[in-house]
Amino acid sequence: MFSAGLFNVVAAFVLVSVFVAACVAPLVRAAYRARVKRLMGLNQVQPRPDRWWQTGAARNQPNRIEPVLLSAEDSLATAKRSERRIARATAAAWLAFVLFAPWVLAWSDPSAGWVSRLEFAVVAGLLALGPALVNLPLRWRRVTGIAAIVALIALFLAVSSLQPETVDLVPDAEEEDWPAWVYYLLVGFAAWVYLSMFRQRIRGQVIPLAFVSAVFALVFALPLGLLEPYLGSCLTPVAEASGAAAGQATFSGLAGATLSMIGLWAAFRVLGVVAGAIERGWIGELSMVSLVGLGVVASTLVLGITPEDPALATTRPGWLSLSWFGLTAAVYVVFLGRTNATAAGLPLLMLRVFSADKRKHDLLHQIQERWRYFGAVDQAGGPDLIDFNVGPYACAKFMGGSLHDLYLPEAVSGDKLMGRFNHSPDREGRYRINEMFNFNTSWRGNVEQLILNSQTILLDVRGLTAEREGTSFEVGLLARHALLGRVVAVGDGETDWAHIGGRLAEHGRRLEELSRCEVVDRSSLDQLIDKLLQIPSRKGS
Amino acid sequence: MEGAELSRLSLYVSKSGRSVLHYSGFSFLAAIFPVVWALHRRLYGIAALALVYAIALGVLIGGWPPAVQALVIVAQVVLFGFTANRLHAFLLERRGWVLTASELPQAGEGEG
């Protein structure tokens, strides 16, 4: 198995795992969505034992910190500093990855000329854009991505025109006796797999699945490969004693079954460790996607550089890949520096209609991604936002069969509820998106507690009419508890404000007390953010 | 598959605070991959027995006519599929786990 070199085998397993994960991820997402719907339909028939709440409390966040109430201007300035800090570190890391690339090629293939090294650096820069853009603030990604791609392609064309000497970064289809369409199909597959690692709607499943597949494959295959030179002599007496086919089949079956179970156990343990690290804030969720993507890109590029000397295939590609990745990560950490953000920021509660409308999701996603530089985002979990909010932790819980542990079976006190949310920033200064999951018997009570314990509330009433009541329950709660001063309502052309006014009047409130907004473009989104930031400084909120 | 589910979902909780989902009805996973089904339910003893059974069955019927082999496999699929979830519920209740949540609506529950 290792005749091609240990690194090549490991890298190939990782790539196949990513490919398998990209193929399977839509199915996992569909299964996750179905599971969420069914769990939300559960009714509690008996109270949980106290012990369950105590183990649940162990997951609660210690040292609940009260939100820091800054002025809108100070909040904006703080958020901008965080965004710039992360963007600066990301840009520095990407640049470092590109600048190291020529040396990586030189070390792997000393005969490569400087033009080839530059071309390799450009290709590395293009492939590293995916991991870099994921880590940037959402509103900067498109422009930065387009500008970088245009610049790199222009550079590649300029460099290629200088000299004809090139290095074989990809196999020549004619030399490999492949039809051209097979080669293009493979390139298309590779591009699809690459994009799956970074696309918002699917990466939350692809990355955890890739972890599980890769660890399983490596735990299953590496021992067999390492023992391969010895297995033959071990199997001979077994085959002679009991008949070659039966003995070998039994041994193979037992070995395969044992390694499979060990592999599955190890895979889910590793995933659990990674998910735990994200939950503890040691690494951000976006940075984890970025780092994994960068690791795959680095190992793929090194794999693609075929060394002339077979002996180099055993050790140097592995160290090369690790060093390249490690140095890039180190540059990121150095430029990121230490964050002073330890306070709880300004948490935002998002109340929304469970809708299948992707346009509604897009706006909520934009608001989430902007707000997480000001403070945490709290919301009721549901099947509609799975495309955006399923991260490694939730995916690990789902694949491990314990997603139901995240669901509250009954209405709880405000302290108990808020203790389940994490309002502190991660080490990079980004805040979390907290989702509250409920059974059918608990959601009303817990939504009420969530509203009572939130200082800044976004109420999504887009499309709310008398026929489609959506967040009417929440509107009634806000009016009953006289909390309209904490709210900004987002509507659209379909919103029946008169109906909302009627709901408010049932509890003695007026529509004029409700701050309203309609978001149609970026500047109106900025206005919405500004209105939300001003809530804490409003008198009587 | 709303309105056309093949199973009911329930939740059992042990005195030590562990919880597990239970599905009633026919289990396709148990019918086809009983070892994986048992591992997923954390029934490790059952998984070991299923593994031994699978290996022994393979050795036993290896030389039989294909039609007989097919009959045995179909019988296994039907038997495991229909009994697995009942076995799971039996084992949970025997070990003192309590049913705390179910998809069945409570009396007087109006809406979700």
Q: How far apart are CA A301 and CA A315, in angstroms?
A: 16
Integer Rg of chain B from CA: 17
Residue A447 forms part of a structural domain: yes
Average of pLDDT values for A429-452?
91
Q: What pLDDT, on a 0 to 100 scale, did the predictor assign at position B101?
A: 93
Nearest by CB to residue B17, choosing from A54, A250, A402, is: A54
Does A241 lie in the same domain as A381?
no
Does any CB of chain A come closer than 8 Å to the CB of residue B13? yes
Does any CB of chain A come closer than 8 Å to the CB of residue B1? yes
B44-94 confidence digits (pLDDT tens): 899 889 988 888 888 888 888 989 999 999 999 999 999 999 999 999 999
Residue B39 forms part of a structural domain: yes
Complex ipTM value = 0.81
Inter-chain CB proximity A41 and B112 less than 8 Å:
yes
All residues of chain B having their beta carbon less than 8 Å from the beta carbon of residue A48 are: 13, 19, 100
Inter-chain CB proximity B11 and A404 less than 8 Å:
yes
Please say which residue of A317, A336, A355 terminates a domain.
A336
Whether the predicted pLDDT of A311 surpasses 80: no
Q: What pLDDT, on a 0 to 100 scale, did the predictor assign at position A250?
A: 66
What's the half-sphere exposure (Cβ side, CA atoms, 13 Å) at A304?
19
Q: What percent of chain A lies above the pLDDT cut of 90?
A: 32
Nearest by CB to residue B17, choosing from A52, A246, A440, is: A52
Give the pLDDT band (50/70/90) at residue A89.
very high
B27-45 confidence digits (pLDDT tens): 998 998 898 899 888 898 9
Q: Which of residues 34-53 of B touch A (CB under 8 A)?
A: 35, 39-42, 51
Residue B86 forms part of a structural domain: yes
All residues of chain B having their beta carbon less than 8 Å from the beta carbon of residue A43 are: 101-106, 109
Q: How many CB atoms lie within 10 A of CB A233?
A: 8
Q: How far apart are CA A349 and CA A456, in angstroms?
A: 6
Please name the residue of chain B whose CA is at the shortest distance from the CA of residue A55: B17
Inter-chain CB proximity A409 and B101 less than 8 Å:
yes
Whether the predicted pLDDT of A134 surpasses 70: yes
Whether the predicted pLDDT of A335 surpasses 70: yes
Mutation for testing the A interface, residue in B2, B13, B20, B104 having most A CBs under 10 Å = B13
Mutation for testing the B interface, residue in A32, A40, A46, A469 having most B CBs under 10 Å = A46
Q: What pLDDT, on a 0 to 100 scale, did the predictor assign at position A510?
A: 92
Give the pLDDT band (50/70/90) at residue A341.
low
Does A285 lie in the same domain as A213?
yes
Q: Vertex A328, ends A327 and A331: CA angle to 5°? A: 85
A200-211 confidence digits (pLDDT tens): 888 888 988 998
Residue A489 forms part of a structural domain: yes
Q: What percent of chain A lies above the pLDDT cut of 70?
A: 84
Residue A352 forms part of a structural domain: yes
Does A347 lie in the same domain as A245?
no
CATH number at residue A437: 3.40.50
Inter-chain CB proximity B100 and A54 less than 8 Å:
no
Residue B97 forms part of a structural domain: yes
Does A323 lie in the same domain as A445?
no
Does A262 lie in the same domain as A124?
yes
Average of pLDDT values for A222-244?
59
DSSP string, B28-78: HHHHH-HHHHHHHTT-HHHHHHHHHHHHHHHHHSTTS-HHHHHHHHHHHHH
C-alpha separations of A481 from A77, A456, A478, B21 in Å: 32, 14, 5, 37
Average of pLDDT values for A419-445?
89
Residue A24 forms part of a structural domain: no
**Containing structural domain, residue B36:** 9-102
Residue A66 forms part of a structural domain: no
Inter-chain CB proximity B100 and A45 less than 8 Å:
yes
Average of pLDDT values for A109-115?
82
Inter-chain CB proximity B109 and A47 less than 8 Å:
no
Residue A437 forms part of a structural domain: yes
For residue B78, the distance in angstroms to the closest alpha carbon of chain A comes to 24
Please name the residue of chain B whose CA is at the shortest distance from the CA of residue A33: B1
A237-286 confidence digits (pLDDT tens): 555 555 555 566 667 667 777 788 788 888 888 888 888 888 777 888 88
Identify which of A163-167, A237-241, A522-526, B69-73 has the greatest average pLDDT. Answer: B69-73
Does any CB of chain B come closer than 8 Å to the CB of residue A506? no
Residue A278 structure tokens: 């994200």
Q: What pLDDT, on a 0 to 100 scale, did the predictor assign at position A425?
A: 86
Q: How far apart are CA A229 and CA A232, in angstroms?
A: 7
Average of pLDDT values for A516-523?
84
Residue B42 forms part of a structural domain: yes
All residues of chain B having their beta carbon less than 8 Å from the beta carbon of residue A401 are: 20-21, 40-42
Please say which residue of A336, A364, A389 terminates a domain.
A336
Domain count for chain A, please give it: 2
Domain count for chain B, please give it: 1
Does A374 lie in the same domain as A253?
no
Cβ-Cβ pairs closer than 8 A, A with B, add up to: 84
SS3 A379: strand
Whether the predicted pLDDT of A465 surpasses 90: no
Does A362 lie in the same domain as A273?
no
Nearest by CB to residue A439, choosing from B20, B21, B101, is: B101
Average of pLDDT values for A452-477?
86
SS3 A122: helix
Q: What pLDDT, on a 0 to 100 scale, did the predictor assign at position A201?
A: 84
Residue A48 forms part of a structural domain: no
Does any CB of chain A come closer than 8 Å to the CB of residue B16? yes
**Containing structural domain, residue A368:** 341-537
Does any CB of chain B come closer than 8 Å to the CB of residue A48? yes
Residue A408 forms part of a structural domain: yes
Please name the residue of chain B whose CA is at the shortest distance from the CA of residue A51: B17
Q: How far apart are CA A76 and CA A531, in angstroms?
A: 12
Does A323 lie in the same domain as A350?
no
Q: What pLDDT, on a 0 to 100 scale, did the predictor assign at position A262?
A: 84
Does A406 lie in the same domain as A431?
yes
- Per the prediction, chain A carries an average pLDDT of 83
Q: How far is CA A440 from the centre of its chain?
A: 28
Residue B14 forms part of a structural domain: yes
Whether the predicted pLDDT of A139 surpasses 80: yes
Q: What pLDDT, on a 0 to 100 scale, did the predictor assign at position A395?
A: 85
Whether the predicted pLDDT of A33 surpasses 70: yes
Whether the predicted pLDDT of A180 surpasses 70: yes
Give the pLDDT band (50/70/90) at residue A397.
confident
Q: What pLDDT, on a 0 to 100 scale, did the predictor assign at position B60?
A: 86
Identify which of A40-44, A57-61, A234-238, B58-62 has the greatest average pLDDT. Answer: A40-44
Instruction: Give the residue, A22 or A315, on which the prediction is more confident.
Output: A22
Q: How far is CA A280 from the centre of its chain?
A: 15
For residue A251, the distance in angstroms to the closest alpha carbon of chain B comes to 11
Residue B20 forms part of a structural domain: yes
Does A322 lie in the same domain as A454?
no
Please say which residue of A306, A336, A366 terminates a domain.
A336
Q: Are strands A433-438 and A377-380 parallel, antiparallel or unpaired?
A: parallel
For residue A53, the distance in angstroms to the closest alpha carbon of chain B comes to 7
Residue B75 forms part of a structural domain: yes
Does A331 lie in the same domain as A360?
no
For residue B31, the distance in angstroms to the closest alpha carbon of chain A comes to 18
Does A184 lie in the same domain as A311?
yes
Residue B109 forms part of a structural domain: no
